[in-house]
Structure 1
Amino acid sequence: MTDIIQLLPDHVANQIAAGEVVQRPASVVKELLENAIDAEASEIKLIIKDAGKTLVQVIDNGKGMSVTDARLSFERHATSKIKSAEDLFQLNTKGFRGEALASIAAIAHVELKTKRPEDELGTAIEIEGSTVKSQEVSVTPTGTSVAVKNLFFNIPARRNFLKSDTVELRHITDEFHRVALAHPNIAFAFYHNGSELFNLPNENYRQRVVHIFGNKTNEKLVPVEEETEVLKISGFVGKPEYSKKTRSEQFFFVNQRFIKSPYLNHAISAAFEGLLKDSYHPSYFLNLTVDPKTIDINIHPTKTEIKFDDEHTLYAILRSAVKHSLGQFNIAPVLDFEHQSSLNTPYSYKDKAASAPAIEVDRSFNPFADDAPSTKQYGQQKNHKKAPTASWESLYVDLESKGNNSNDDFSQVTFESDAKTASIFSDSSVEGTKTTFQLQQKYIVSTLKSGMLIIDQNRAHQRVLYENFLKHITIKEATSQQLLFPLQLHFTPNESNIIKNLKSDLEHTGFVFSGLTEEEITITGVPVGVPESEVSIILEQLISDVENDVPDTNFSTTDLLAKSMAKSLAIKNGQSLNSTEQEHLVNSLFACKEPNVSPTNRPTFITMKVDDIEKKFM
C-alpha cells in the first residue's frame, strides 16, 4: 500500500494560513494598522477603495525596514517581535506570529515601499500570490506604505462570500475604532473612495472617544480610575440614562489591545445592576493594564480573546471600580442615614443672622363661648365658628316621628356609576361566548373543528405589522401623524449615516424628517399608531439590525426595515389582551399572505388535534 501522507506545497500552506488570518478586508486593515503601531509611527493613514475589495493601503511615518527585512517580512513565521517560545508570555507588541504579511501576500497583490531614517533610498517590492514580481530601490518618504489590491483574486470562492460594501465598510470602521481608541497618542486619518471619514489628531483619551462617537458623548462619560498591584484601570463608562439596546459602544483594552471578554463584560453589567432598563446595555471604554506574564494572547487566530491567570480577582476589582465611580459622581442612588439634605444651608443665607420667631396669642379667645369673638387668622388656619352646645337637643327633634314612618322613599336614591375605561376595541362580546382566551399572557388559545389552535401573540403581531409596513413602503402611501413638538435624537456619525441611507424608506413608512446632520436627527412626524416614546427605540433597533445584516438590494433593505419596525412595535409577551383584541389579532393573522411563520421564519401557531389530546388521557 502506498504512503498517503504528504507535505503541502508552500503556496497551499500560505492559503490555509490566510484563511485563518484574513476573513475579510477588515482583517487586513487590523494587521497593517498593528504593524504600523509596532513600527513606532506617530501618524498613520488608512486609505480604502470599494470597502477594501479593490484597495487597502496603510501609510505610516515609523522606523521603516532595511532591504533584507523588507524581503524577509513576507516569509512565513518571520518576525522581529519574539526570539524564543518564552517571549510569547511577555509580549508588548501587536503582531508576533509573522503570519500576517505572508498570508495577505498569498491572496492579494501587495506593494510595499519602506525606508529607514538613516537610509537615503528605500525599497519597493511587488508580490502577487506569494510570488515576488519585482524588488528595486525606490525614492520614498521615511516609514512604510503597504498597498493590498484585489483581495482574494486567486480564491474566487472566498471573494463571493464577502458581503456588500456597506457591511464590509462597517467592519473596517469597527477595526479602525478599536485601534484608534487604544492609541490616542497617535494621529489617524481614514479615507474611503477619496472622501475623509475620520481625521483624529494626537489627543487625550476623552477627546479621542468624543471625536469618534460625536460631541454629545462628552456629557455621557463617567471617569473610572483604579490602581492595584494586580490591575490598573483607566477610562470611562457611560451614564445609565444613555444606555443602548446594542453593544456597539463596549470596548475593553488589555495592554492597549482590544479584546472581547463576556466574563469581564458581566462585571460591568453587575456594577450597573438596578440602573439599566431591561435589554439595555451600558457603554464603556476601559483600558486595563496587567503584567504581560499573567495573560496568554495566543489562544485565538484573531487575538481578540485573552486568557487571564486570575479572572476572579480582575472581575471583583473591575466591578468595584465601576460601582465606586458611579457612586462617586452621584450616578447611582446612595443611602446615607446620617445626612439630611434639609439641614443644608443655602448660600444666600450664608451671612444672615438668625432671627427669633414671633409668637402671637389671642388672649380674648374662649373655646366655651357661644361665638368666638376673634376674627383673626393664625398662620394659614381659617376661623372655625363653634356650634352652640346649648341647642344640641334640637338635632334629635322629630326623629321619633320619622322613625315610625315605614314608607321611606328610596326611589330617589341614586348611585354613582363606575367610571369606564376606554378600550382600543369596543368589547361587545358576551361572557360565555368567548372564542379565544389568553394563556400566561403569551399565547392565544382558540378552537378549531379538528381541535385546538395555540398562537404566539408576539410572533403573530410581528407578521401582521411586517406585511402592513412592507405594503406601505412598496406603494409609498403611508400616513403619518404630526408631532406637536419636533423630536430631537442624538446619534454617532456612523449611526446617523445609516439613518441617512434609509431616510427615503423610513419616509414611506410614515416618518417625517426636518433635519438630518452628522450627530442630530429632527423628526416632526411618525407613523400612525407609533408612540413618540417608542421612536428612539425603533431607530436604535433598526440601526442594530442594519449593522448586523445590511442587504445588498433595495428590496432587501425595505424588507429589513419592515422586519425591524415590526419587531419593535409588536405586542410583547406578558401584555394582557381583552377578548376582542385577541379575536382581532387572530383574524388579522389569518388575513396575512403567510400566516404560518413570523418575519424571522419562526412558527406563529401550532395546532393540537382532538386525537392527540385523547391520547394524553389513555
Structure 2
Amino acid sequence: MADIIRLLPDHVANQIAAGEVVQRPSSVVKELMENAIDAGATEIQLIIKDGGKTLIQVVDNGKGMSGTDARLSFERHATSKIQKAEDLFNLHTKGFRGEALASIAAIAHVEMLTKTEDDDIGTKIKIEGSKIVTQEVVVAPKGTSMLVKNLFFNIPARRNFLKSDQVEYRHIADEFHRISLAHPQVAFNFYNNGSDVFQLPANDFRKRIVHIFGRKTDEKLVPVEEETQVVKISGYIQKPEFAKKSRGEQFFFANNRFIKSPYLHHAILGAFEGVIRPGTHPGYFLNLEVDPATIDINIHPTKTEVKFDDEHTLYAMLKSTVKHSLGQFNVVPALDFEQDQNLDTPYSYKNKAVGIPQVVVDSSFNPFETTQPPKGNSGGSYSKPKVDGWESLYSGLETSSDTNASHLEFESEVVNSSIFDGKKEAVDHTTTTFQLRKKYIITTIKSGMVVINQSRAHQRVLYENFLKNITIKEAVSQQLLFPLTLSFSPSEIHILKEIKENLCTVGFVFGELTEEGVEIKGVPVLVAESEVQMIMEQLISDFQQEVPGDSFSQSDMLAKTLAKTLSVKTGESLDEFSQVKLVNDLFACKETTLSPFNKKVYITITENDIERKFI
C-alpha cells in the first residue's frame, strides 16, 4: 500500500495558519500594533483604507530590526520573545505567536521598512503570498513600518466573507481602543481613508479615556484603587446613573493586556447590584496587575481569554474594591466655583429662625361691591360691574352633567372577515376582549378563542409600520419645542452617522452632529421625548452587536429595535378599546403568526380542545 501521509508545503501551511491568526483586518491590526509596543515604540501610527481590505499600515519608532532579523521575522515560529519553553508561562511582552507575520505574508502583499538605531541604513522587504519579491538596502528612519495590502488576495472565498467597510472599520476601531487604553504612555495616531480619526498624545490613564470617549466622560468616572499581595487593582468605574443599555465601555486589562472575563464581569455586576436600573450595564476601565506566573494567556488563539490561578480571591477583591469606590464617590463634597453668589443665604440670616409661610385671606372682600375710583379717574363715582343673581349661574350643574359614558361608541377599524384563511377564522368582535395577567389578550373566534401575546403582537404591528415608513419615506414627525442635545463617544457618533438617513425616514429630525454629541429637533409620533436617549442607546447597542452591512439590513434592524423599544410591555394594563385596536392591527399585518424576532404571537384554542379537557 502506498504512503498517504505527506508534509504540506510551507506556503500551504502558512495559509492554514492564517485561518487561525487572521480572521479579519482587525486581527492584522492587533498583531502589528502589539509588535510595535513590544519593540519599545513611544509613537505609533495606524493607517487604514477601505476597512483594512486595501491597506493596513503600522509605523512605529521602536528598536527596528537588522537585515537578517527582518528576513527571519517572516519565518514560522521565529521570535525574539521566547528563549525556552518556560518563558511561555512568564510573559512580560504581548506574548508569542509564531505564525503571525508568516501568516499575514501568506495571504497579503506585505512591505516592511525597518532600521535599528545603530545602523546607518535600513532594510526593505517585499513579500507576496509567502514569496519574497525583493530585499534591498534603503534609507529609512529608526523603527519599523509594516504595510499590508490587498488582504486575502489569493483566497477569494475568505475575502468574500468579509463584511462591509464600515463594519470592518468598527472592528479595527475596537482593537485600537483596547490597545491605546492599555498603553496610555504611548502616543497613537489613527487615520482612516486619509482622514484623521484619533490623535492621542502620551498621557495618564484618565486623560486617555477622555480623549477616546469624549470630554463628557470625565464627569462620569470614579477612581478605583487597591493593592494586595495577590493583585493590584487600579482604574475607573462609571457612576451608576450613567449605566447604559449597551455593554460598550467595559474594559479589563491584565498586565497591560485587554482581556475578556465573564467571571470577573459578574463581580462588577454584583458590586453595582441595587444601584443601577435593571437591564442596564455599568461602564468600567480596570487594570489588574498580577504575577505573570499566576496567569495563563495562551488558552485562546486571540489571547483575550485568560486563566487566573486564584480566580475566587480575585473575584472577591474586585467586588469589594468596586463597592468601596461606589460608597466613597458621593461622600466628598464638590466645590463649584461657578456658582452664583446671589443665590447664597446672606450671613445676616444665618442664625435667624425660619418662619412658617402664612396665607392671608380677606373674608370680607366682595369683587362685586362698589369701590373707590382708581387714581386718574376724576369724573364721577366708579363701581365694578355688578351682576344680579350671580349665585344662580352655577345652580343645576351638578345634576346636568351626565357622568355615565356607557352610551358612548368608539369607531374601530373595519375587520376583514378573511383574515384567517383555511383553518384560520376571523376574530368575532361581537364579544369583548379580555386581558389575562397583563400579558395576554384573549378574544373569541368562530371555532374557539385566540390567546395573543400583547408585547409580541405590538412589536409586529410597529415593525411593519416602521419598515413601511422607511421604504416610502413618508413618516410623520413631531417637532420638539426645545431641541435635545445628547452626548456620545466618537465611535457611537460614527454609528449614528451611518444610520442617520434611515432614522430620518422613520421620523427623527437631526440638527448639528458633532464628534461629541447630536442635536435632535424632532422625533416620530410614537416616541416620547423622555425615551429618545434610551432609544438611541438601544440602537447603538444593537448595531454594535449585530453590525449589519447593507442598507436593507440597517433598515430591518432599525425597525426591529424601534418596535422592541416602543412596544407594549408585559405588565402594562390595556383598556378594552386598546385591546380591540391591537387585535385589529395585528390581523391587518402581512405576517400575523410571528413577531419580528421569529417568536409565536398567538395560539388558537378550539372548542374541541376545550371539550377534551372535560372528558
The TM-score, its normalising length taken from structure 1, stands at 0.83
The equivalent of 1:541 in structure 2 is: 538
The alpha-carbon deviation at position 354 of structure 1 amounts to 7.4
Asked if structure 2 preserves the Cα contact closer than 8 Å seen for 1:239 and 1:331, the reply is no
Equivalent of 1:444 in 441, 444, 448 = 441
Contact 2:431-2:443 within 8 A present in 1 as well:
no
Establish whether residue 230 from structure 1 lines up as the match of residue 227 from structure 2: no
| Structure 2 residue identity aligned to 1:598 | S
Matched residue, 1:273: 273
Match of 2:557 in 1: 560
| Aligned residue in 2 for 1:243 | 243
Secondary structure class of the residue paired with 1:486: strand
How far the C-alpha of 1:317 sits from its partner, in A, is: 0.7
C-alpha distance in structure 2 between counterparts of 1:576 and 1:381, whole Å? 42
Equivalent position of 2:294 in the other structure: 294
Name the aligned partner's letter for residue 114 of structure 1: T
| Alpha-carbon shift at residue 434 of structure 1 (Å) | 4.4
What's the CA shift for 1:380? 6.8
Aligned residue pairs total: 553
Q: Give the corresponding residue for 2:496.
A: 499
Taking the aligned partners of 1:331 and 1:251, their CA distance within structure 2 comes to 26
User: What do residues 505-534 of structure 1 show as CA deviations (whole Å, max 9, x unaligned)?
Assistant: 222222222222111212222111211111
Matches within 5 A, 1:317-396: 317-330=317-330
Q: Which amino acid aligns with 2:194?
A: G
Amino acid at match of 1:49: K
2:376 is matched with: none
C-alpha spacing 1:507/1:115, structure 2 compared with 1 (3 Å): same
1:67 corresponds in structure 2 to: 67
Whether contact under 8 Å (1:296, 1:307) holds in the other structure is yes
**Superposed CA offset, 1:84-122 (max 9, x none):** 221111111113122211111111111111110000111
Residue 15 (structure 1) aligned with residue 15 (structure 2): yes
SS of residue in 1 equivalent to 2:527: coil
Q: Does 1:515 align with 2:512?
A: yes
Q: How does 1:73-88 map to 2 (within 5 A)?
A: 73-88=73-88
Q: Quickly say closer, same or farther: Cα 1:378–1:226, change in 2 above 3 A.
A: closer
Q: Deviations over 1:457-506 (max 9, x none)?
A: 22211111111112222222222222222211111122122222322322
The answer (yes or no) to whether the contact 2:167–2:549 under 8 Å persists in 1 is no
Work out the CA distance in 1 between the residues paired with 2:357 and 2:541: 61
Aligned residue in 2 for 1:579: 576
- Alpha-carbon spacing, 1:234–1:2, altered in 2? closer, same or farther (3 Å): same
Q: Is the 8 A contact 1:70 1:114 kept in 2?
A: yes
Question: Quick one: percent identity of the two aligned structures?
Answer: 66
Alignment of 1:203-214 (within 5 A): 203-214=203-214
1:96 and 1:379 mapped to 2: Cα distance? 76
- Pick which of 432-441 and 569-578 moved more: 432-441
Q: Distance in 2 between matches of 1:31 and 1:610?
A: 66
Q: Deviations over 1:133-177 (max 9, x none)?
A: 222212111100111111111111111111111110000000000
1:559 is paired with a residue whose SS is helix
Distance 1:434 1:506 in 2: 40
User: Partners in 2 of 1:94 and 1:616 — Cα distance?
Assistant: 67
Q: After superposing the two structures, state which structure 1 stretch, 595-604 or 549-558, moved more.
A: 549-558
Q: Which residue is 1:138 aligned to?
A: 138
Distance between the aligned counterparts of 2:127 and 2:404, measured in 1?
80
1:450-469 correspondence to structure 2 within 5 Å: 450-469=447-466
Relative to structure 1, is the Cα distance of residues 584 and 182 closer, same or farther in structure 2, using a 3 angstrom cutoff? same
Structure 2 residue aligned with 1:304: 304
Distance 2:144 2:245 in 1: 41
SS at match of 1:502: helix
How far apart are 1:550 and its partner, in Å? 3.9
Amino acid corresponding to residue 202 of structure 2 in structure 1: N
> Partners in 2 of 1:138 and 1:234 — Cα distance?
45
Question: Which residue pairs with 1:590 in the alignment?
Answer: 587
Are 1:167 and 1:549, in contact at CA under 8 Å, matched by a contact in 2?
no
Alignment pair present for 1:194 and 2:194: yes
CA contact (8 A) 2:526 2:566 kept: no
Q: Which moved more, 1:141-150 or 1:125-134?
A: 125-134
| CA 1:580–1:135: 2 relative to 1, 3 Å | same
Q: Does the aligned pair in 1 maintain the 2:48–2:55 contact within 8 Å? A: yes
Gaps of 5+ in 2: 333-343, 361-395, 413-428
Between stretches 282-291 and 82-91, larger displacement belongs to: 82-91
Q: 2:288 is paired with a residue of what secondary structure?
A: strand
Q: Which has the larger radius of gyration?
A: 1
**In structure 2, the residue corresponding to 1:458 is in which secondary structure?**
helix
Shift of 1:540: 1.0
Partner of 1:262: 262
- The CA deviation at 1:296 is 0.3
Q: For residues 277 and 2 of structure 2, what CA distance do their matches in structure 1 show?
A: 66
**Match in the other structure for 2:468:** 471
1:453 positional shift? 2.2
What CA distance in whole angstroms lies between the structure 2 residues aligned with 1:527 and 1:378? 47
Contact 1:472–1:508 (CA under 8 A) maintained in structure 2: yes
Q: Indicate the SS of the match to 2:287.
A: strand
Q: Deviations over 1:347-395 (max 9, x none)?
A: 989999979x9xxxxxxxxxxxxxxxxxxx999799xxxxxxxxxxxxx
